């Protein structure tokens, strides 16, 4: 099929490259000329494992192209996907649909023949109706169908998620659109990926409800972790005990600094606001948002307490800046709350992240950025482990002990066992585990 993807950010680029790898002819469109120029040289502007090889392979095969010219690509397409950003609006937290609607207008003006226009961007319930209305106002004679096809990609494993999905959700109102989407995803039938067809509004809500539920699981186990610290229980044992129940499951039951990234914070806020507008508030989700924000704000207090009540004049060695491993994404990362609070308390922060350093510099300009983990820890009064990159799971603990001025470790991801750290002479502070 001929597929045009409007927007070459994270979702658009991963989706476009994967569709091309299925054998479809894909054109990715973006208004950023520098980004398009780089992509045509197979230079990928984001870090996602395997994405650079995927782009290069399909560019070389001629199945994937990049351009700033929207109209020619839309005219030739069977399916046009809108994959532009929907950031939270400043001031009220609603999803900003400015880019979506602008893309809809431009697409409408270029359509020729029957075309399925797919909302891949994360949008509030009813946005598909608005997209269709705008397109028909722009081009009343256009033969089109608007569908919703939300993405469920995890940063760091997006390609595998796309090619081996738990489900593919498609919201359609036109049988021709259904047939086109079945053809588009036919290569995944061999993987027995369930293709879930719903109405458009249900598909839009599935995306928000999914992310809100996962954010709730994270927040739940974080509150249980706080209780564990008070009563002397171990949150990892509690999580395993409840996660073995098939009705609950083990995923997203890892206590830590709270959720961040480009999706959960934005989508939970948007869902809560939509629910309020319709007079059906989602109180659980509202509480999840408040508890998660409070947890992020309290991170510095944990570090300060571990350092004896003050970090004034002290150097803190921070391992990890991205909101999760295997990505360079700094959006809503816990580091953005932790580092300024430590600096306000008088600390100097030296940090290392395998991929997110350049993205972090503009957000955290006063940090001393190291070239590797041990450089970040050299002369520090405490080690704070914030992002559980694999390379941080097997540190040379004897070397770490030698580099630190004080043997303090604050493990905000519970990567290490207390007994092991104590054997190496560390004063260890985890999350939701007995202090011993």
Task: Enumerate domains of the chain plus CATH numbers.
Answer: 2-198 (3.40.50.720), 208-289 (1.10.1040.10), 298-429 (3.40.50.720)
Find the mean pLDDT for residues 22-34: 96
297 marked ligand binding residue? no
Find the mean pLDDT for residues 160-187: 94
pLDDT, tens digit, 9 for 90 and up, residues 195-242: 999 999 999 999 999 999 999 999 999 999 999 999 999 999 999 999
The whole-model pTM stands at 0.92
Active site residue 263: yes
154 marked ligand binding residue? yes
pLDDT band at 191 (very low <50, low <70, confident <90, very high): low
Q: Is residue 350's pLDDT more than 90?
A: yes
Supply the pLDDT for residue 436.
Answer: 57
- What is the C-alpha to C-alpha distance for residues 219 and 217, in angstroms, rounded to an integer? 5
Q: Is 102 exposed, middle or buried (0-12, 13-18, 19+ CB in 10 A)?
A: middle
Q: Is residue 94's pLDDT more than 90?
A: no
Catalytic position from the list 18, 28, 228, 263? 263
363 marked ligand binding residue? no
pLDDT band at 90 (very low <50, low <70, confident <90, very high): confident
Query: How many CA atoms lie less than 13 Å away from 163 in the CB half-sphere?
Result: 16
pLDDT higher at 88 or 406: 406
4 marked ligand binding residue? no
35 marked ligand binding residue? yes
Q: Is residue 307's pLDDT more than 70?
A: yes
331 marked ligand binding residue? yes
C-alpha distances out from residue 189 to 183, 186, 270, 372, Å: 10, 5, 33, 43
Supply the pLDDT for residue 239.
Answer: 98
Q: Is residue 16's pLDDT more than 70?
A: yes
pLDDT, tens digit, 9 for 90 and up, residues 384-395: 999 999 999 999
């Amino acid at each position: 099929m001929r597929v045009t993807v409007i927007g070459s950010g994270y979702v658009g680029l991963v989706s476009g490259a994967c569709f091309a790898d299925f054998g479809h002819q894909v054109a990715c469109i973006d208004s950023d000329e520098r980004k398009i120029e780089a992509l045509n040289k197979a230079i990928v502007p984001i870090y996602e494992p395997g994405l650079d090889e995927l782009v290069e392979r399909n560019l070389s095969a001629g199945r994937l192209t990049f351009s700033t010219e929207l109209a020619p690509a839309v005219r030739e397409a069977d399916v046009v996907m809108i994959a532009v950003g929907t950031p939270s609006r400043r001031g009220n937290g609603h999803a900003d649909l400015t880019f979506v609607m602008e893309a809809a207008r431009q697409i409408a003006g270029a359509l020729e023949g029957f075309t399925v226009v797919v909302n891949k961007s994360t949008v509030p319930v009813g946005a598909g109706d608005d997209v269709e209305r705008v397109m028909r106002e722009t081009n009343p004679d256009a033969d089109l169908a608007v569908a919703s096809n939300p993405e469920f990609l995890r940063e760091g494993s997006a390609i595998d998620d796309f090619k081996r999905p738990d489900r593919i959700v498609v919201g359609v109102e036109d049988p021709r659109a259904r047939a086109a989407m079945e053809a588009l995803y036919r290569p995944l039938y061999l993987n027995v990926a369930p293709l879930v067809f719903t109405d458009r509004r249900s598909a839009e809500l599935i995306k928000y409800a999914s992310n809100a539920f996962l954010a709730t699981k994270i927040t739940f186990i974080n509150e249980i972790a706080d209780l564990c610290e008070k009563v002397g229980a171990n949150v990892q044992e509690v999580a395993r005990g409840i996660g073995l129940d098939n009705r609950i499951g083990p995923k997203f039951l890892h206590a830590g600094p709270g959720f961040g990234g480009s999706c959960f914070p934005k989508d939970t806020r948007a869902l809560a606001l939509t629910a309020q507008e319709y007079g059906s508030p989602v109180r659980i989700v509202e509480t999840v948002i408040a508890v998660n924000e409070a947890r992020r704000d309290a991170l510095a207090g944990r570090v300060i307490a571990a350092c004896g009540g003050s970090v004034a004049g002290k150097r803190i060695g921070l391992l990890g800046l991205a909101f999760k491993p295997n990505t360079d994404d700094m959006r809503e990362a816990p580091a953005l709350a932790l580092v300024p609070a430590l600096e306000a308390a008088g600390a100097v922060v030296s940090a290392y992240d395998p991929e997110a350093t350049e993205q972090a510099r503009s957000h955290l300009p006063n940090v001393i950025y190291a070239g590797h983990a041990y450089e970040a820890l050299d002369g520090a009064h405490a080690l704070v482990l914030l992002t559980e990159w694999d390379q941080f799971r097997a540190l040379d603990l004897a070397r770490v002990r030698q580099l630190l001025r004080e043997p303090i470790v604050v493990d905000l991801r519970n990567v290490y066992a207390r007994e092991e750290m104590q054997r190496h002479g560390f004063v260890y502070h985890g999350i939701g585990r007995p202090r011993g």
